[in-house]
Structure 1
């Protein structure tokens, strides 16, 4: 029977067994030296309990993923970006594209600015633009380089004028962001700051809406907008927020002629509670009956225009 050690031929005579005895690790010179007690699991390199703490120690700090380059697709959007002198690194043109005035203008503007013009197959352009309606044209825009909030103070200081900064609280539409940047450039603001979370970023849409002024007005990112406003207030800037319910109107903005930060909230919920508490004063914009609120970028433009008017008047006085 299988496994029956007493069957005939399955047993050796005593003292004639060859080979190592079970558990001996070999005999005489071939015997194994004892290694002592088994180490603890966390001390054994091949054990998962050893690798876990090592992985926690070796794990690098979490970093923000750098934004990738963006592609603007479509003939009209591409031409508009090039006309606005939006920074670009390459113009992609599909092979065999039906060239019209917009294609010719895009190629000419790119050549004049030293932007690489690359011919690619239509399937390749479909892949690059993620199957967007590109009409044979796509413009590659590099990631925007944001400033630090402290750099905006340096820009204002170097200008020799009282600081005028714009802070956006919860503005998530890149077109609003671009329009605010354009108003900031028009009325002499030294920079714009946006929070790191729940905010629009400088995309091709924002570039196009700013009409290229995003290249001249620095935009900074604040990790914590409330803390940034506090830091700016500690340096002597007054913080004024736009609030539709405020009893003080922009016509009564006496703080306009000094160092100032204008805070604009979202069109829907306005200023957040913490940001409103950080404001030294809130102002509203007088409007005709029946109109509840203005677009965030329009409201910012109205207030910045009033600040610029008061500063001009103070300079003439």
Structure 2
């Protein structure tokens, strides 16, 4: 297929001007897959740039043929020099975009709505940005209602969005106080809890996971309706946070009879450089 010509300089100039006007408030989508997922899940994307537009569209034909035309309409080609002036580093795919963050009001309405058809994942004072991004990616894959965090970590930090591969737009992601958690029975993951294999996790559950280093806070533990443990070989101290979330969501989805499509085992854009803390306390 012949690629359309690269946009003219005037269009590139307008795109850069738009970027500079939004860079302080918009969500940075770093790489082809982040842009792909954001488009698929309805993100509002005012500007998307590529160092090699034709190469990006060939990637779309290979990995996301359903989005080839929408991405062709979005992507504007700019020089690598321009990209280096706009972003901290150029992604290996040479693709970057800005998206409008979803309304907090709309996300809170989604999280508060009952009955729910899928749990909410709650991270209690997480510390590692990459871990938070990986959890959001998992939650989106399992169709969770949302991911909420407590504490100081911003779940929309660029590093978290990068780890989530643009899938923040596929689920409701917000930071909340413990007192404002969504309704529903609170199942808190803790080594002293009941084995999850003997429990049924309801669709309206809130699944709480403790900080990578200090575990569940006293406030969350006091509010928990159930303390739940994951099966673990003796003398193994812990699982990675994202692994723990995956195990709990898989247990829920298996019991609920959820069906999912095929899995793309490739990492983000052929690479997966998300840094995951390897010693979470859950």
Fold similarity call, TM over 0.5:
yes
- How big is the shift at 1:200? 4.1
Indicate which of 131, 136, 149 corresponds to 2:108: 149
The answer as to 2:216 corresponding to 1:216 is no
C-alpha separation between the residues in 2 aligned to 1:266 and 1:278? 16
Structure 1 pair 114–309 and aligned structure 2 pair: CA distance change class (3 A): same
In 2 relative to 1, CA 181–80 (structure 1 residues): closer, same or farther, beyond 3 Å? same
Contact 2:186 2:208 in 1 (8 A): yes
Q: Deviation digits for residues 119-169 of structure 1, max 9, x if unmatched? A: 445544332124x34679341222422444343132x43x6x4x6222111
Q: Give the match for residue 190 of structure 2.
A: 243
Answer 1 or 2: higher relative contact order, Cα 8 Å, separation at least 6.
2
Number of the residue aligned with 1:227: 179
Deviations 1:190-218 (A, max 9, x none): 222223x4224235554454455432322
Going from structure 1 to structure 2, the CA distance change for 1:221 and 1:103 (only over 3 Å counts) comes to same
Task: Please say if 1:128 is aligned against 2:75.
Answer: no
- Alpha-carbon displacement from aligned partner over 1:203-256 (angstroms, at most 9, x marks no partner): 55544544554323222331x2x2113x72xxxx21111112x142212325x2
SS in structure 2 opposite 1:263?
A: strand
For 1:284 and 1:269, how far apart are their aligned partners in 2? 16
SS of equivalent residue, structure 1 residue 219? strand
Residues 227 and 150 from structure 1, CA distance in 2 versus in 1: closer, same or farther, beyond 3 angstroms?
Answer: farther
Secondary structure of 1:92's counterpart equals strand
Question: How big is the shift at 1:104?
Answer: 5.1
The match for 1:288 is: 233
**Number of aligned positions between the proteins:** 226
**Structure 2 unaligned runs (5+)?**
1-22, 259-282
**TM-score, normalising length: structure 2:** 0.64
SS at match of 1:240: strand
TM-score of the superposed pair, with normalisation by structure 1: 0.58
In the alignment, the residues of structure 2 paired with residue 257 and residue 122 of structure 1 have an alpha-carbon distance, to the nearest angstrom, of: 50
Contact 2:31 2:93 in 1 (8 A): no
Does the 8 Å CA contact 1:80/1:208 hold for their aligned counterparts? no
Any stretches of 5+ residues in structure 1 without a counterpart? 1-65
| Residue 156 (structure 2) aligns with | 202
**Among 239, 253, 260, which residue is 2:199 paired with?**
253
| Partners of 2:28 and 2:161 within 8 A in 1 | no
1:79 aligns with 2:35: no
Select which of 113, 131, 146 maps to 1:191. 146
In our comparison, the structure showing a higher alpha carbon Rg is: 1
With over 3 angstroms needed to count, the CA separation of the structure-2 counterparts of 1:150 and 1:122, relative to structure 1, is closer
